[in-house]
Chain A
Amino acid sequence: MRFALIADEVRVAIDSDADIVSARQKGRGLASQCGFPSTDLAVVATAISELARNIVRYAVRGEVILRLIDDNGRRGVEVVATDDGPGIPDITLAMQDGYSTSGSLGLGLPGVRRLMDEFEIASDFGKGTTVTARKWKR
């Protein structure tokens, strides 16, 4: 792991739309512990929504891992969305707006990238996808 963990990580299994709400709640809770302003809490919740939504839609089953992290005194929230779904054949393409219907509006994975401070994606075609996004406290 690249950053120090401040508290135990929280894992939320994503199986249905109801799990999305749960993951949002946990993420919002962690971020507010860290002292995020309320609009940034909404940003973190949004990122979780979009990532969890992708799991439900494309992979059926996966997990959202939420971490409070510290980088030399700078605090933030790390959202990791991982699934063992079909994977993404072409990540560059998938990160372009317009790859999916939601993407053409700026939502989906490209939307998460723009909302959050850091964004990483790894996908093995056939072996699932892991997206990591971080938001630092301003």
Chain B
Amino acid sequence: MNAELRELADEYARALENYLVGRGEAALQDAYELGRKTLAKGLGMLDVATIQQRVLLKCLMRAPTTKEGTRILRMAHKLFVESLLPFEMSHRRVQEVNTALRESEQRYRNLVDTARDVIYTLSIDGKIKSLNPVFETITGWLRDEWIGKEFSPLVHPDDLPRATTLLQVVLAGRVPPTFELRVRSKSGAYIPGEFTATPQTQEGRVVGVLGVARDITDRKRAEEALRGLNEALEEEIKRIAHALHDEAGQLLASVHIGLAEVARDLPPHTSRRLDDVRGLLTKIEEQLRHLSHELRPTILDDLGLHPAIEFLADGVSRRTGLQITVEGVPGKRMPAPTETALYRIVQEALTNVTKHAQASRVTIRFARDGRLLRCSIGDNGAGFDVLAVQARRGARGLGLIGIQERLNAVGGTLNITSIPGSGAELIICVPVEAGGADADSPRR
């Protein structure tokens, strides 16, 4: 028995003696306070039991008669109960905390078990630690088939390097932005998933990864459908442009020839009035041609984005009086969907400026930065509250959704900066093949 316990034992012995000589409640209170003190020192109930055993033995050995021994035992028991009561209180606290913990755990378990997104945890060596039931519904795998195993065979081989890099990022304690991975289902089909992953820490150390994965099959399908729709729209526009340019154009040409013939048979003063009509007709012809080019500029296919944008800017400028400058060059030719997307976005942006911005100047700027083509469209107009406009959906959203969707299709991003009163700038970045700023050339 160490010094600390011996000291407590002496105190306990005094309390027992006092109790035996009839000091009643005061002695019981002393025993209670002793128990309290023992607890506060971080000692345990067993220490109190040891103390009581020692003190009681000594006391009993001095008992002259069995009767006195029985009295000592009975009284010592009461004292012992007093000294244990602080521990009883402490024990009840632990029980209450445990119940609360169990309830809290149950609440979270329910949440995880009924979640519609997959909730997973990984150990630091990339093994799956836990999965919630919806994993089975989405992938067709049983959870037991994967818990304790490496996560890597679940990921599409092409996505695996990215997944591995992201795991390292999280294990380094950082939270990467949401990412997409294709997950192999039991049937062998790949399911597109949108993932979040955050480090799980314990005492400041990363001990694993906690993440949520959402099945985005429906969203992907919708994006696909939208892409199809955009392509169909492009086709339709081509058809209309063709009808305007070729068919209506040819008809107008015939009218010209017809008018020229009529003019020959007319007296000079009437012929002059006819010339005015022919002048108007020429203007119509010109506008039709321009319109058809803007709709679907063959120039975009034949000569590339830069000449097409310049042509577009020229047309809009002439129609609206906006002063439009095109700076920089987009560089090497890009795949048709990317060029079309950029053309349409610039077109949409110019329409926005014309309709809403009350601007007098627009600058379209191209810059190539490695594998990224940056295109900005800035104006000096009224500007707008970006967040408010982005929150508005559909037709009142300045067609920003349409722009965003077009960019999604080609893997691009959109940033808008605007200060009300000082104009607005749309900044578009699309990934392109690395390479120099080759001259625009017809696509083969």
A contact residues vs B (CB 8 Å cutoff): 20-22, 24-25, 28, 38-39, 42-43, 45-46, 49, 97, 101-102, 105-107, 110-111, 114-115
Contacts and interface: CB of A to CB of B under 8 A. Distances in A.
Contact of B78 (A21, A38, A115): A38
Interface in B8-35: 24-26, 28-29, 32
Which one of B25, B36, B78 has the highest number of Cβ atoms from chain A below 10 Å of its Cβ?
B25
B32 A46 contact: yes
Contacts of A102: 36, 40
Given A105-B39, A107-B36, A114-B96, A45 B89 contact: no
Nearest to A112: B89
Contact of A42 (B24, B26, B36, B81): B81
Contact of B82 (A42, A107, A110): A42
A45 B86 contact: no
A24 B29 contact: yes
A21 B90 contact: no
A38 B93 contact: no
Contacts of B29: 20-21, 24, 45, 49
Contacts of A114: 89, 92-93, 96
A134 B432 CA distance: 79
A45 B28 CA distance: 9
Given A42-B82, A45-B82, A106 B32 contact: no
A105 B90 contact: yes
A97 B85 CA distance: 17
Contact of B25 (A24, A38, A39, A46): A24
A116 B36 CA distance: 18
Contacts of B26: 21
B434 interface: no
Nearest to B94: A106
A111 B96 CA distance: 11
B86 A107 contact: yes
Given A21-B25, A28-B25, A97 B32 contact: no
Which one of A49, A97, A101, A115 has the highest number of Cβ atoms from chain B below 10 Å of its Cβ?
A49
25 contacts: A20-B29, A21-B25, A21-B26, A24-B28, A25-B24, A42-B81, A43-B85, A45-B29, A45-B82, A46-B32, A46-B85, A46-B86, A101-B40, A102-B40, A105-B39, A105-B40, A105-B93, A106-B90, A106-B93, A106-B94, A107-B36, A111-B90, A114-B93, A114-B96, A115-B85
A106 B78 CA distance: 22
A46 B88 CA distance: 11
Contacts of A28: 25
